[in-house]
Structure 1
């Protein structure tokens, strides 16, 4: 199943669906970050717009090596045709991490504009 594409600057981007507190579904374009072992990261403004309730906080280690305490939330997320609960961390941009892709085979065609495919493993 094709769920995204490679951007002009070489980043894989996928679309996921996040359910807000009002049970409405919201499409989110997010970068696929294989170095992020969490589930989903969203900017504070997007979290507020979704009406997600704060659940706690984690210490995140950024790519720069800097450690930062970030608030966490829980949301129902649809990705690759499946729906499940995910931890959402507050971040500067939407990111999908490896925890959200557990149980899938991921294929990225590393050419500008090409496909990002996700297949559920049975």
Structure 2
């Protein structure tokens, strides 16, 4: 089995990603693996802004609590698992990697 991240004392998995910025200022991001998130990647709004990611529009998301929110949706290129991936990114309260990226 290939390791994709490291465990924490809180029994969470943190996955290191390299997000390629439009302005060339790539950024290393440690994202929590969220098995309930079926998207690719979620980042904080200020990270998205500093990376100058291309905006795709807005998307409605449903949280584990059942609440729905309308959030910004963006496009990013990132390094993960030894490969480069083009993925959709949504705004969130913390960096999360979703199951879509894990199984790509």
With the length of structure 1 as denominator, give the TM-score of the two structures.
Answer: 0.80
- Residues of 1 paired with 2:65 and 2:12: CA distance? 18
Shift of 1:3: 3.8
- Aligned match of 1:89: 90
Q: Which 5+ residue runs of structure 2 have no aligned equivalent? A: none
Aligned length: 103
Shift of 1:25: 2.3
- Aligned match of 1:46: 47
- Residues of 2 paired with 1:23 and 1:102: CA distance? 27
Q: Which has the larger radius of gyration?
A: 1
Q: Secondary structure at the match of 2:78?
A: strand
The yes-or-no answer on 1:8 pairing with 2:9 is yes
Q: Which 5+ residue runs of structure 1 have no aligned equivalent? A: 104-122
- Aligned match of 1:98: 99
Aligned Cα RMSD in Å?
A: 1.2
With the length of structure 2 as denominator, give the TM-score of the two structures.
Answer: 0.93
Q: Deviations over 1:59-106 (max 9, x none)?
A: 100010101111100000111001010000000000000111124xxx
